[in-house]
Structure 1
Amino acid sequence: MRDATRQTVVWEALRAVLARRSAATGRDSLDIVDAGGGTGGFAVPLAKLGHVVTVVDPTPDSLAALERRAAETGVGVKGLQGDVADLGDLLEYGSADLVLCHSVLEYVDDPAKALGAVGGILREGGAVSVLAANSVAAVVHRALAGQFDEARRLLLTEPSGRRFSREALAGLLAAAGFTVTEVHGVRIFAELMPGMTAESDPDGLIALERAAAGHPVLRDIAAQLHVIAHR
């Protein structure tokens, strides 16, 4: 269920970005880089849509699983071993129409440097899709679990590099030369309700998540923030 709620919101945003980029460039097949794309959960479906996709990931086992997944699906996806900060060394400057940076900024040593590397490989008018853990949600989830002291500690301290507020993500992207155009909340309600409740009406929950994804208040308590930004 969590995968379905996450993918619905993110995929709808990505499809819209790709449609606009194709219309602007006159190219149906776009060049996409999935930084930290692992086993190809996004990369393989994007390749199946006809796009040229490259996955950059530091883990050889993930890249091997990506290769198997792509082969089983009958598509070609290029895998390169490396970190997000290595993008400029692995790929040509200005060679990508879209870069995915999903669940990556939480784990890199320098998020600003990582986004700078992303900007270097994007073409003018290209977009980055960032998916990151939300620091506000961490407070809410600790409180609901009865961990009140931990929730208070998280609330009163600056967010760590492992979680980001909407403002922090926007600031990082702006510093890297991006303009934020969309912010979506991902898994707003799915993380707050018991599993049995969520499973009782999965289609209804997905519809609710979709409707709430852009709400100016609800999106800020989502488990993850999804940001689309352009150069």
Structure 2
Amino acid sequence: MARQLEEQIVGRFPVGRRLRVLDVGMGRGAQALRLARAGHQVTGLERDATMIATAREALAGEPEGIRERMRIIEGDGRDTGVHFLPGSFDVVLCHGVLMYVEEPDALLAGLARVLAPGGLLSLLVRNGDALAMRPGLSGDWAGALAGFETVACQNRLGLDVRADRLKTLTATLAGIGAPLHTWYGVRVFTDTAVDGTDVPGDLEALLAAEERAGRTDPYRGVAALLHLCGVRG
């Protein structure tokens, strides 16, 4: 996931350019910190107080130069218009957020609004076209059959969430002026792995296989998650 994002940034912007980045729903701030360490000016938007505290603690342990390049704002991703002017950012991330939003179109339109022309919109969503895969591979045939008929599912935390279909998001991105540029599959082979499982000895090969599958049809189409990259016109 991080490699895919870096690939898109390097391919779209001049080397060495300090980008203005907005991370909507930044969580604990791992991705935001990674980009701040790379030299970019990063704003993290998060509404969960516990996540914010964890992100602030992590940021406090960074060198002064990195601390100066990152700011954290408490707020909802649907309220970007309240916090930011149009065209304020070169890159906008919204990873693992849409699944918690019942009607995501307004949120997405707000994200496109704060993107500068030529800016990159990076989305990580639950794949609504592959909801039968996890229960099917686990031998839950009733769950697999149900997965064909819905975009409702449970995430790894046991929370009820919503998935997105590639065709629907492609149309939405075109409609808000940030048409789909490219997309990847994420967790093609590893979605059934149990959290907390020991790291396999052949981790490098596993990551290479996941990376290759995430770029290759038909494998990427059955990934648990989709990473979509749109570009502001």
Identify whether the pair has TM-score above 0.5, normalized to the shorter chain. Answer: yes
Percentage of identical aligned residues: 29
Report SS of the residue matched to 1:73.
Answer: coil
Whichever residue aligns with residue 187 of structure 1, its letter is: R
Is 1:47 equivalent to 2:40 in the alignment?
no
Deviations 1:22-59 (A, max 9, x none): 32xx8611000000001101000100011000011111
Where do residues 1-231 of structure 1 align in structure 2 (5 Å cutoff)? 10-23=1-14, 28-74=17-63, 75-76=66-67, 77-155=70-148, 157-160=149-152, 162-192=162-192, 199-231=200-232
In 2, the alpha carbon distance for the partners of 1:104 and 1:194 equals 22
In 2, the alpha carbon distance for the partners of 1:139 and 1:47 equals 38
- 1:158 deviates by 3.9
In 2, the alpha carbon distance for the partners of 1:172 and 1:159 equals 16
More helix by share: 1
Contact 1:198 1:205 in 2 (8 A): no
Contact 2:90 2:115 in 1 (8 A): yes
Contact 2:138 2:192 in 1 (8 A): no
Deviations 1:127-175 (A, max 9, x none): 11000111233201111222211211221x2424711222222122222
Whichever residue aligns with residue 105 of structure 2, its letter is: A
Following superposition, which runs of at least 4 residues in structure 1 exceed 4 angstroms of deviation? Answer: 192-198
- 1:200 deviates by 3.9
Contact 1:185 1:214 in 2 (8 A): yes
Contact 2:102 2:162 in 1 (8 A): no
Report SS of the residue matched to 1:18.
Answer: helix
- 1:124 deviates by 0.4
Report SS of the residue matched to 1:226.
Answer: strand
Whichever residue aligns with residue 118 of structure 1, its letter is: L
Report SS of the residue matched to 2:162.
Answer: coil
Contact 2:20 2:88 in 1 (8 A): yes
- 1:198 deviates by 7.3
In 1, the alpha carbon distance for the partners of 2:87 and 2:175 equals 18
Report SS of the residue matched to 2:200.
Answer: helix
Partner residue in 1 for 2:155: none
Partner residue in 2 for 1:4: none
Report SS of the residue matched to 1:100.
Answer: strand
Contact 2:129 2:166 in 1 (8 A): no
Report SS of the residue matched to 1:106.
Answer: helix
Report SS of the residue matched to 2:30.
Answer: coil
- 1:92 deviates by 1.6
Q: How many residues align?
A: 219
In 2, the alpha carbon distance for the partners of 1:194 and 1:56 equals 29
In 1, the alpha carbon distance for the partners of 2:95 and 2:10 equals 20
The answer for unaligned runs of 5 or more in structure 2 is: 153-160
The RMSD of aligned alpha carbons is 2.0
Report SS of the residue matched to 2:93.
Answer: strand
